[in-house]
Amino acid sequence: DQQVKQNSPSLSVQEGRISILNCDYTNSMFDYFLWYKKYPAEGPTFLISISSIKDKNEDGRFTVFLNKSAKHLSLHIVPSQPGDSAVYFCAASAPGAQKLVFGQGTRLTINP
Amino acid sequence: KAGVTQTPRYLIKTRGQQVTLSCSPISGHRSVSWYQQTPGQGLQFLFEYFSETQRNKGNFPGRFSGRQFSNSRSEMNVSTLELGDSALYLCASSFTGQRNTEAFFGQGTRLTVV
């Protein structure tokens, strides 16, 4: 039962353009969402988060959008840079739960 | 400030054996969580410890266990290893383990069961 789904295993984007990574969830109890970035042979690193009381959160080139009615969130990276090439995981948590439920990840490749 | 340290980085074990993985959190962090990453499955939550107490547990069989010491270091044990236990095991530490505090991940231990 995959409660958090990233339906695109991979995405290729031209340098300088916008990268949009998508994530869907099924558990309506989730109210806190995060994006992590992972390079090979390294652990995931935190990128950006959003609480369900918001529908948008920005941090530099990274913006996360949350559509609660559709149970969908997306990560926008503008402009995309070669160093953004990595695997991106979205994660969600419910109130009172310290555990994160992760999606399967999307491999983003930025082409020069 | 040193990051999260996991040892060993790589491990090869035989079916039926047991294995212990170690995680040293960032100094001052009291929460340690463990995750299993397998191809196509993403990261799956194993358990979380805070101040030596297990607070949360994922849907893994009893062969997977853990503990946390008074210095916040944590160990994870898997008994009677199966081929399907081959995975990257990641631990993450945070100050309180609260959802809105950033969790820092270690580089992981790559376990191969043959």
List CB contacts (< 8 A) between B92 and chain A: 43
Residue A36 phi, psi dihedral angles, 5° rounding: -125, 150
User: For chain A, first and last CA: distance in Å?
Assistant: 38
The reported pLDDT for the residue numbered B98 is 72
Tell me the average pLDDT across B37-66.
Answer: 91
Nearest to A98 among B48, B90, B108 (CB): B48
The reported pLDDT for the residue numbered A1 is 66
The reported pLDDT for the residue numbered A83 is 95
- Give the Cβ contact number of residue A72 at 10 Å: 13
Model confidence at B41: pLDDT above 80:
no
The reported pLDDT for the residue numbered A54 is 95
The reported pLDDT for the residue numbered B96 is 76
The reported pLDDT for the residue numbered A71 is 97
pLDDT per residue of chain A (112 residues) written in tens, 0 to 9: 679 999 999 999 999 999 999 999 999 999 999 999 999 888 999 999 999 999 999 999 999 999 999 999 999 999 999 999 999 999 999 887 678 899 999 999 999 9
Could you tell me which residue, A18 or B39, shows the higher pLDDT?
Answer: A18
The reported pLDDT for the residue numbered B1 is 59
Please identify which residue in the block is written with the tokens 């809105």.
B100
- Give the Cβ contact number of residue A40 at 10 Å: 6
The reported pLDDT for the residue numbered B103 is 85
Pull the structure tokens for residue A87: 């695997």
Model confidence at B68: pLDDT above 90:
yes
For residue A6, the distance in angstroms to the closest alpha carbon of chain B comes to 10
Best A2, A99, A100 residue to mutate vs chain B (most B CBs within 10 Å): A99
List CB contacts (< 8 A) between A89 and chain B: 42-43
For residues B15 and B66, what is the distance between their CA atoms, to the nearest angstrom? 20
Using DSSP, state whether B35 is helix, strand or coil: strand
The reported pLDDT for the residue numbered A99 is 84
For residue B18, the distance in angstroms to the closest alpha carbon of chain A comes to 24
pLDDT band at B102 (very low <50, low <70, confident <90, very high): confident
The reported pLDDT for the residue numbered A42 is 87
**Yes or no, beta carbons of A99 and B31 under 8 Å apart:** no
For residues B65 and B46, what is the distance between their CA atoms, to the nearest angstrom? 9
List CB contacts (< 8 A) between A6 and chain B: 42
For residue B113, the distance in angstroms to the closest alpha carbon of chain A comes to 19
Tell me the average pLDDT across B79-83.
Answer: 97
For residues B60 and B54, what is the distance between their CA atoms, to the nearest angstrom? 14
Mention every residue, 6+ apart, whose C-beta is less than 8 A from residue B78.
B18, B19, B21, B63, B64, B65, B85, B111
User: How would you class A88 by CB atoms within 10 Å of its CB: exposed for 0-12, middle for 13-18, buried for 19 or more?
Assistant: buried
Give chain B's mean pLDDT: 92
